[in-house]
Amino acid sequence: MSEMRETQRINPDLNHDCDRIHLEDYQLEEVILPATKREPARKAIRIRIQGRNLSAVAQPLIASVGTIQVRYMRIAPDERSLEGILLKEPQAGSFVEVILGDQDAARHPTPVDPTKIKRV
């Protein structure tokens, strides 16, 4: 796998065609998952990650917050954001990471602060 990089916001005025993943921002919001036949309704955390080159290609795109993997992930058609669900609350100081198979890996430089999660 490629070396993990911390990414920064890219100035949109710069004209470049870099194919690497860039993570600009993320939001965490508490949600209620509906009840199913097997499980009652429960709380989870919805995550939205903005950036560039968040592609759906042959190699899997994996996102995580610390050791918690993002589930039910959807990538926007413009490849500038992805959304998913964290089934557990991330620990303070965990980092948001996105990995594209063995091609690229990026980490957002700001650690998670659980007090900034929007609560229901």
pLDDT in tens, 22-79: 899 999 999 999 999 999 999 999 999 999 889 878 788 999 999 999 999 999 999 9
Residue 10's pLDDT band, with cuts at 50, 70 and 90, is low
CA distance 113 to 69: 17
Question: Which helix or strand (DSSP H or E) is residue 25 part of?
Answer: strand 22-33
Residues 74-112: tens digit of each pLDDT: 999 999 999 999 999 999 999 999 998 888 899 999 999
Sequence spans of domains, the chain: 5-116
CATH class of the domain at 5-116: mainly beta
